Structure 1
Amino acid sequence: MPAVASVSAASYKASPLAPEMIVAAFGLNLASGVALAQSAILPTTLLGISIAVIDSAGVVRPAPLFFVSPGQINYLMPAGMPNGNATVTVSNGGNAIASGTVTIARVAPGIFAANATGQGVPAAVALRVKADGSLTYENISQIQGNAIVPAPIGLGPESEQVFLVLFATGARFNTGLSNVSVDIGGITAPVLYAGAQGSFVGLDQLNLRLPRTLIGKGLADLTATVDGQVTNKVQIRIQ
């Protein structure tokens, strides 16, 4: 049977994957066309295509689908998947057309990138809290030619605090904030929240405060570690 390879839709890492994370599956002739889910409640069939995930105990779970196309299917890893090996089977009209194996873990964190490659500027916003309590959201990326590049983040006077809101997947089942950390250019940033984003299925969110020791850092690599699992590397720029 033809192979299908499932990876994190954020980092494009293949293993492990986690329950309720957004997954991208790649293969050949997976669908006859392109179709997108049309509602917040994801369907389990699009253009006759469905995905079943079979865990190590033989339990079969249908996977909700974001979209299907001939070369790629984005799906939600079903809830309740136990740790261990699992089989992902793509079917068309109930007939299996491709299959692959994955490893399931409690967490498999990946940070989305603004350019959807898993590298470069993260999909994120900066939140500035001024001394009077007013809040402003700021872009951390900008278009330069044909590329998306980091926009400088200014940390402002000492009376202001700046937070970074990162969008991710595979991080929601962490065992607590004491086991979640973010490194920015060798400096640890305090993480205030790591869990479900709440509005978009499968999307997670990491909220962190940018410490003033980052001032003047310039272009800096950023990674998060969740229960010992390290994310893909992205980059931000600090003035």
Structure 2
Amino acid sequence: MGIVILFVIGTLYRTAPETLPVAAARDISAAQIAVVSAASYETTVAPDSIASIFGTGLATQVAIGNDTDPNTSGIQLPTQLAGTTVEINGKRAPLFFVSPNQINLVLPGDTTIGPANVIVRASNGTTNTGTAQIVQADPALFPLNGTGTGVPAANFLRIKASGAQVHEDVFQWDAANQRFTPKPVDLGPSTEIVYLVLYGTALRYADRTSVRVLIGSEERSTTLFGANPNFVGVDQVNVPIPRSLIGRGIVSVSVAALGFGTSNLVDIWIGGGGGSGATPPQVTNFNVTDILAGSQLTILGTGFATTGLDDNVVKIAGGAPAKVMEATSSQLKVVVPFGSETGQVTVTTPQGTGSSSAPLRVRTSISGIVENTNKQPLSNVIVRINGSPGAGIPTIQTRTSDQGAFVLPDVPVGIHT
């Protein structure tokens, strides 16, 4: 369960846990705040769910809430933290974290459905007000990167034929891009069952019989659903991963509850299945060490699918699939998608998924299409970034293609056309 602790802290405590400079006391009334789900950032929240408040002057310092009564079962969060309180319809909410610009809290379980008045009072007398939209349930999954999407706060639970249980990570650290990315799971032989254990919020008051989990193209019922007993405001969903998804690669996952909508999308990586006789592809090298978006990349390796171009799914740093132009068992020619980032290259076939040992460096660029007012492409148009010799920034220039497209290569980070 360590992953849940890591995630809740990493996502909910988004400001570094250190004291910030305290502004002089102010008397501000009716300053507006935003109340959103701490998992999905949607503007509807549910009783006993974890929410975030964003604004200014919410607290005079950063503080993290701890269990106020360790001798009592469960976790008793403080309702006042660093002098800050939050009232929802007149009742104080338990607080995880406060800072000048963000608060993380648990909505009281008896909060009435509908619009709720929210008042934030800081220790220096500053008052912020707003409205929260309270619903019975609104499925939301916690992502590890705190962006509302990507790798989930979750783990794989493998049940072996002997009955032994093994917990496995769903994530790996991408040092090049400083973020978590999906880690492949091998579904093993047919005698094993691998469950996806998801952690979210605002789920517990949905009708369990109506809850479904969509994994890739497969819809499944849950085997466990409800409040996690170890963490305040956190809900848990367990679902078996269908063996029909073996070798599918990175797929999206969401949770839906009848009458309460569908959660934000998160991503997991489904690799091969041991004992099935399948041999996943291997990525051994590229024809270049760095490349521009829109350029053709040759991938060298073994085990690529020759039954059809679409049987090879190629992704760079977990991004959008690259268009496969040619395929042999040992070589793929693909077009690097616009928006790609530096990272490992994965190739997924019906036999499983293979990943490059080294990242492919995608050069920083600006790309686009130039059109006239009738949305017709304009060819041979000069697109230029004027340099700044004093800052060491060169002038970068190119012309649009017959289709009006352009790519400005090796643009310094932060520069715009």
Q: Say whether 1:111 aligns with 2:111.
A: no
- Contact kept in structure 1, 2:59 and 2:123, CA below 8 Å: no
The residue number in structure 2 matching 1:192 is 223
Partner amino acid for 1:45? Answer: Q
Return the structure number with greater strand share: 1
CA shift, 1:104, in A, is 0.9
CA shift, 1:155, in A, is 0.8
CA shift, 1:5, in A, is 0.5
- CA offsets per residue over residues 60-79 of structure 1, 9 Å max, x none? 22111111000100011111
Q: Say whether 1:4 aligns with 2:33.
A: yes
The residue number in structure 2 matching 1:67 is 97
The residue number in structure 2 matching 1:26 is 54
5+ long unaligned stretches in structure 1: 55-59
Aligned partner of 2:181 among 149, 172, 187: 149
The residue number in structure 2 matching 1:92 is 122
Aligned partner of 1:170 among 202, 207, 224: 202
- CA offsets per residue over residues 54-93 of structure 1, 9 Å max, x none? 1xxxxx2211111100010001111111211111110124
The residue number in structure 2 matching 1:218 is 249
Q: Residues 198-237 of structure 1 correspond to what in structure 2 (within 5 A)?
A: 198-228=229-259, 229-237=261-269
Q: Tell me the distance in 2 between the aligned counterparts of 1:4 and 1:98.
A: 7
The residue number in structure 1 matching 2:213 is 182
- CA offsets per residue over residues 148-199 of structure 1, 9 Å max, x none? 11000111110000001101011011122x2100111121133112210111
94 and 19 in structure 1: CA distance in 2 versus 1, 3 angstrom threshold? farther
Q: Tell me the distance in 1 between the aligned counterparts of 2:195 and 2:109.
A: 30
CA shift, 1:97, in A, is 0.9
5+ long unaligned stretches in structure 2: 1-29, 68-74, 272-417
Q: Give the number of the structure with larger relative contact order, counting CA–CA contacts within 8 Å between residues 6 or more apart.
A: 1
Aligned partner of 1:51 among 81, 86, 89: 86
Q: Say whether 1:126 aligns with 2:156.
A: yes
| Aligned-partner SS, 1:213 | helix
How many residue pairs get aligned? The number is 232
Amino-acid identity (%):
40
- Contact kept in structure 2, 1:166 and 1:207, CA below 8 Å: yes
Partner amino acid for 1:50? Answer: T
Q: Which moved more, 1:69-78 or 1:36-45?
A: 36-45
| Aligned-partner SS, 2:148 | coil
Partner amino acid for 1:133? Answer: G
The residue number in structure 1 matching 2:167 is 137
TM-score by length of 1: 0.93
Partner amino acid for 2:39? Answer: A
- Contact kept in structure 1, 2:38 and 2:52, CA below 8 Å: yes
TM-score by length of 2: 0.54
- CA offsets per residue over residues 113-134 of structure 1, 9 Å max, x none? 1112221000000000011111
| Aligned-partner SS, 1:46 | coil
227 and 95 in structure 1: CA distance in 2 versus 1, 3 angstrom threshold? farther
- Contact kept in structure 2, 1:89 and 1:96, CA below 8 Å: no
Q: Tell me the distance in 2 between the aligned counterparts of 1:42 and 1:13.
A: 24
| Aligned-partner SS, 2:244 | helix
29 and 95 in structure 1: CA distance in 2 versus 1, 3 angstrom threshold? closer
The residue number in structure 2 matching 1:57 is none
CA shift, 1:213, in A, is 1.1
The residue number in structure 2 matching 1:42 is 77
Query: Looking at CA atoms only, which structure, 1 or 2, has the larger radius of gyration?
Result: 2
CA shift, 1:32, in A, is 0.7
